[in-house]
Amino acid sequence: MGNPKKDWDKVDWALSNQQIAKKLPAKEGTVAKWRTKLGHGKSRTTPSKERSDRAALVVRMQSKEMRDKARISQPLATQAAKTSPKSAKGESNVHAKHWHILSPSGDAYEFENLHHFVRANPHLFNQKDVEWKRTGGKRGTGGEYCNVTAGLSNVRNGKSKKWKGWGLL
């Protein structure tokens, strides 16, 4: 009838999560959860004996080599992304989807990219609804959105039937 309950108060928390998991038996994630829940701090790392000094040196060297390569290739990748039509703002963006929408006045519109359509046709919407905002991250990561794109995306995803009279065909 299932596993017997484990007595977490009797665990030797000086051991690593991996070692405790083997002794109980339990999953490492479960051990980590109980360690935090009972306030026993972070798990100590796997004993250094288990990894030879030579293996650790190889890993450090590989990491340095990878960082050096990234220093050279990252600016090239960034420049390529900026010039690629798949990552640029426009109809050919990799995340573009096909849309059929109906305006409140009954006009039908068909296009490939909602963000591009809104940028190209701001006159169709209330001026305050097309003020662009950013989402996510300290470094400006994440995406742009405005009230129009958020509202129509909610319609497309089935969260609402219409947004300010705009709907799907």
- pLDDT digits 0-9 by tens, 68-107: 888 888 888 888 888 877 776 767 776 778 999 999 999 9
Averaged confidence pLDDT in the chain: 82
Average pLDDT value for residue range 27-31: 89
Bridge partners of 100, per DSSP, are: 110
Q: Choose the weakest-confidence range: 19-23, 41-45, 122-126.
A: 41-45
Q: Compare 107 and 65 and report the one with higher pLDDT.
A: 107
Count up the domains in the chain and report the number.
Answer: 3
Q: Is the pLDDT of residue 45 over 50?
A: yes
Lowest-pLDDT choice from 50-54, 67-71, 105-109, 164-168? 50-54
- pLDDT for position 54: 67
91 with 155, same domain?
yes
What range does the domain containing 116 cover?
Answer: 87-168
User: 163 and 106 share a domain?
Assistant: yes
Dihedral in degrees, nearest 10, Cα atoms 156, 123, 113, 97: 20
| Burial category of 31 from C-beta neighbours within 10 Å (exposed 0-12, middle 13-18, buried 19 and up) | buried
131 has a pLDDT exceeding 90: yes
In a domain, 1, yes or no: no
For residues 130 and 74, state if they share a domain. Answer: no
Is residue 71 domain-shared with residue 137, that is, in the same domain?
A: no
What mean pLDDT comes out for the span 137-155?
83
- Of 79, 89, 95, residue with least CA distance to 117: 89
pLDDT of amino acid 2:
46
Q: For residue 35, tell me if it sits in a domain.
A: yes
- Outline where 24-165 has alpha helix (H): 28-37, 53-83, 114-120, 147-156
- 129 plus 94 within the same structural domain: yes
Q: Please report, rounded to a whole number, the percentage of residues in the chain having pLDDT higher than 90.
A: 31
Classify residue 119 by burial, with Cβ atoms within 10 Å: 0-12, 13-18, 19+: middle
d(CA 54, CA 107): 70
Query: Tokens 């300290």 correspond to what residue?
Result: 138
- The pLDDT assigned to 52 comes to 61
**3-class secondary structure, 59:** helix
Asked whether residue 102 falls in the same domain as residue 147, the answer is yes
Per DSSP, 6 falls in state P
Residue 5 forms part of a structural domain: no
Is 3 domain-assigned? no
| The predicted structure's pLDDT at residue 168 | 92
The contacts of residue 67 (CB under 8 Å, 6+ apart) are none
* HSE, side-chain direction, 13 A CA sphere, residue 134: 7
In this structure, is residue 140 part of a structural domain? yes
Percent of the chain with pLDDT over 70: 80
pLDDT of residue 94: 64
The predicted structure's pLDDT at residue 106: 94
